[in-house]
A and B are shown apart, each in its own frame.
Chain A
Amino acid sequence: MYINHLPAETWNYLKMNGTEILTVPKLTNASFTVSRANNIECELGQHKGLNIDARDNQAMRLAAKNGVNVTGVGPDLDKLLCENNISLNQYEINENTGNTLLFSFKAVDKSNWASAFEITVKKGCKAKVIEEFESSEEAKAFLAVQTKFILEEGASLEFIQLQRLGAGVTFINDIGTMQAEKSVVNLQEVILKTAKTYLGSRANLVGDAAEFHAEVGYLVDNKDRLDMNFVAFQTGKKTDSTLNVKGILRDEAFKIFRGTIDFIKGCVASKGQELEDVLLLDDGVINQTIPLILCDEEDVEGDHGATIGQLDEEELFYLKSRGIKEEDIYEMLAKARLESVVAKISDEEIKTKWLSFIE
């Protein structure tokens, strides 16, 4: 299975264009709990797959332009879910339903699970969707979760994902948003225990003035692996995307961040911004970062930035002069980075719970 494909390829020897997962077990529908679903019904369907080559960027662009909700992980996961007869959990949030859904996954030892969600937020409605992914420290498991959103005109979504998985878990976390005009998505992604995580997120901003904003905080330690692919596909006029990623790598961790702002011809007056800030705490870490801006529209503003490494010497000197030991400074800063992302979560119960994990 080939996933997390970069929307424009670069030199193959860098091994950043995408990721091949060689062994995928037979998958069954995941066990999870749903709460806070006040009057929001689930309609079960069957995942239909997606017949697109996972390396064919033009085909993905064309499909997304035509309303196909292409995701960040890519079409091979759609195929996998279809082949394994994974159910499609469909929800609709409208003016007559509640507006919050909380899904909790606890990957148990020896489980090979998958889930697929398609959540529609009707015109002008507000929704909050929270997904928690946890497991025991010892669990060896495979978990693939695909969450697709359809946002109608003027709809807004707060989407929060939080993750603590044991080292033996392989997790594919796939997100796709298909956004009509003036719809807004705010994604908050918190990864405290990474295991082996493949995270793909694609915002298809096809409607005028659609917006996608993401805040991501991660800690990758031990020999864990975090493989990310974020794409803001902007075809509507005056669309806006921001992506702020803050991370910490320690021990022998590996992380790749792919972030793409894809301005398509006609997306006049659109904006895109992405920033990654990575703190490297140990010599065994491997950090790969590849932030792309692809642009075939003149009237846009795009920028990206990255800072990677250790603390600025002046900042370090200042903190040391206050009597704090260097190793304590880095611990403090690592914690502060994660807290700064969690602190923005508007849901008090979830925020308190996950702040306690950071402590």
Chain B
Amino acid sequence: MKEKTYVEDIDRSLYDFRNEDKDAFRLDGGLSEEIVRQISKEKNDPEWMLDLRLKSLKIFNDTPFPQWGPAIDGLNMDNIVTYVRPKDNKMMADWKDVPTEIKDTFEKLGIPQAERESLAGVGAQYDSELVYHNIKKEVAEAGVIYTDLESAMHGEYADMIKEHFMKLVPPTDHKFAALHGAVWSGGSFVYVPKGVKVEIPLQSYFRLNAPGAGQFEHTLIIVDEGADLHFIEGCSAPKYNVANLHAGCVELFVGKNAKLRYSTIENWSKNMYNLNTKRALVQDGGTIQWISGSFGSHVSYLYPTSVLQGDGASSEFTGVTFSGAGQDLDTGCKVIHNGPNTKSYVNTRSISKSGGGNTFRSSVNINPKAKNAKSSISCASLMLDSESRSDTIPAMDIRTKDADVGHEAKIGSISDDTVFYLMSRGLSEEDARALIVSGFADNVSKELPLEYAVEMNNLIRLEMIGTIG
């Protein structure tokens, strides 16, 4: 009899601890103009921001829920609390000043240690508010700005924020972009001046502790001409029996000949609806690199978008998605080639098991002015049992003859022939299967900084048992 290979679920115990939020300040659940005005008041918004919030609310109310992706019937906006902040919250620049309970949370997640060892700066958001932001002195001295968005909006960068905020992802983009525009809170602002190369990464970590809450942080990064940055985003939450919602927004502006690498390890709990929007605008000769690991969430809609606007702009997207029981993860990317000589490269892997669903969804648009554009897309899916599901839905729209587009996709299970081959070289069957699965995701883990590659390997802790009879 054939015994199925068993691959263990991702070990979530590291992320599943929770704090009581009895002292937190929470707005009522649901979404109304009154709630939006309350958030705006809490944030001390300038008038233009309140206007944007109210306009976004109207768009949200007028826009239907998407029908083309995984079911989001379990998400009842009337039950979602859009703003929760820790009691007496203030954003701190020293870990010692962060409230003990929150500090403990991030200590468990290893954030301060990572900051000490390998990061140029760290931001930490707990529920709706940033609780800590710090940047290494020498990086700050080079003119790099890394701060919370609210402070930036009221300080000397106010005009820059106004000029860029939700210009790349307008509230009209889709229903959850509109929701974000209405209730956003927290997030980071990064500015890297012309020619400055930040040698070690900056990281923002987002923790959603409150049950039934939403997190709507906004990340705005501007990498000026010739500058270079690696930004890392991590997210996690404990599991509750009620739905939580993440509808963040990331807007990245990559200047001429600048380079931005944006890495994400997403490990939300399995009650989370992760309806996140990420987009980069890349000017002449600039490069955006997306590294994306999606492991958590009940449902995900996540498609980082690269708009290659300038001559010779390029994008790379490297992604791995792992879905287990109770998960339906719809991930992928979009690339829009507007400028001539633009290049895009997409390489993804997805693994599904125990009834998990994976969809790779992409679009590549090559517009008439994108002469000599080149695009290469490769996606592969591995199904570890027949209870799971895996779909690939790649779209290409080419509107110039001077384009070169290649696409390939494969879907399948672990090949018995490959297992046999490895066993004939002396490996046990368990080791052979583990090696195949690890190798399958290797293209992503090798792109990550070492400590995150280790985290990813921890996330996909694979245990193989069984034999083919």
Give chain A's interface residues, CB within 8 Å of chain B. 8-12, 14, 16-17, 265, 268, 280-283, 285-310
User: Residue on A with the closest CB to B360?
Assistant: A293
In the complex, the answer to whether B401 meets A290 with C-beta atoms within 8 Å is no
Given A304-B409, A309-B403, A310-B401: A288 and B391 within 8 A (CB)? no
Is there contact, CB below 8 Å, between A303 and B410? yes
Which of B390, B395, B404 has the largest count of A CB atoms less than 10 A from its CB?
B395
Interface of B is mostly: strand
- Write the nearest CB–CB distance from B418 to chain A, whole angstroms: 13
Assess whether B401 is in contact with A288, with CB atoms less than 8 Å apart. no
Q: Cβ of A292 and Cβ of B392 under 8 Å apart?
A: yes
B67 in contact (CB, < 8 A): yes
| Contacts of B393-428 to chain A: CB distance below 8 A | 393-413
Q: Do B411 and A293 touch across chains, with their CB atoms under 8 A apart?
A: yes
Q: How far is the CA of A290 from the CA of B392 in the complex (A)?
A: 10
Chain B positions near chain A (C-beta within 8 angstroms): 67-68, 359, 361, 363, 368, 381, 383-386, 388-413
Pair A282/B401 contact, Cβ less than 8 Å: yes
Q: What CA separation (Å) do A297 and B388 show in the bound complex? A: 8
Q: How far apart are the CA atoms of A308 and B410 in the complex, in Å?
A: 18
In the complex, which residues of chain B have a beta carbon less than 8 angstroms from the beta carbon of A294?
391
Q: Which of B368, B386, B410 has the most CB of A within 10 A?
A: B386
Contact B405 A307 (CB under 8 A): yes
A283 to B406, alpha carbons, bound, how many Å?
19
| Chain A residue nearest to B415 in the complex (CB) | A301
Partner of A16, one of B384, B395, B405: B395
Contact present for B363 and A11 (CB under 8 Å): yes
Q: Is the CB of A302 within 8 A of B410?
A: yes
Check A295–B391 contact: CB distance below 8 A: yes
Given A289-B396, A295-B383, A308-B396; A300-B406 close (CB under 8 Å): no
Residues of A within 8 A of B413 (CB): 298-300
List the 5 closest A-B pairs by CB distance, nearest first. A9-B68, A280-B401, A298-B386, A308-B405, A306-B407
Q: In the complex the two chains form, is A307's CB within 8 Å of B397's CB?
A: no
A12 nearest in chain B by CB position: B68
Closest Cβ–Cβ distance, residue A69 to chain B (whole Å): 25
Is B395 within 8 A of A306, CB to CB? Answer: no
CB contact under 8 A between A295 and B411, given known A307-B405, A309-B403, A310-B404: yes
Question: What CA separation (Å) do A14 and B334 show in the bound complex?
Answer: 11
Q: Measured between alpha carbons, how far is A305 from B405 in the docked complex, in Å?
A: 10
| A25 and B138 alpha carbons, distance in the complex (Å) | 74
Q: Give complex CA distance A85, B447 in Å.
A: 62
A–B complex contacts, Cβ < 8 Å, 25 sampled: A8-B391, A9-B67, A10-B68, A10-B363, A10-B393, A11-B361, A11-B395, A14-B363, A16-B395, A16-B397, A268-B386, A285-B399, A286-B397, A289-B396, A291-B409, A292-B391, A292-B392, A293-B381, A295-B381, A297-B386, A298-B383, A298-B388, A301-B411, A304-B409, A306-B405
Q: How far is the CA of A12 from the CA of B69 in the complex (A)?
A: 11
Chain A contacts for B391, CB-based, 8 A: 8, 292-295
User: Closest Cβ of chain A: how far from B266's Cβ, in Å?
Assistant: 21
Instruction: Give chain A residues whose Cβ lies under 8 Å from the Cβ of B411.
Output: 293, 295, 300-303
B347 to chain A, nearest CB (A): 15
- CB pair A288–B381 under 8 Å, yes or no, is no
Residue contact B392 to A301, C-beta cutoff 8 Å: no
Roughly how many angstroms separate A301 CA and B407 CA in the complex, as a whole number? 17
Hey, which chain B residues are within 8 Å of A291, CB to CB?
Answer: 394, 407, 409
Given contacts A10-B363, A283-B402, 13 further A-B pairs with CB under 8 A are A8-B359, A10-B68, A283-B368, A283-B401, A286-B398, A290-B393, A290-B394, A295-B411, A297-B386, A300-B411, A305-B408, A307-B407, A310-B402
Query: What's the nearest-Cβ distance from chain B to residue A247, in Å?
Result: 12
Partner of A293, one of B399, B400, B409: B409
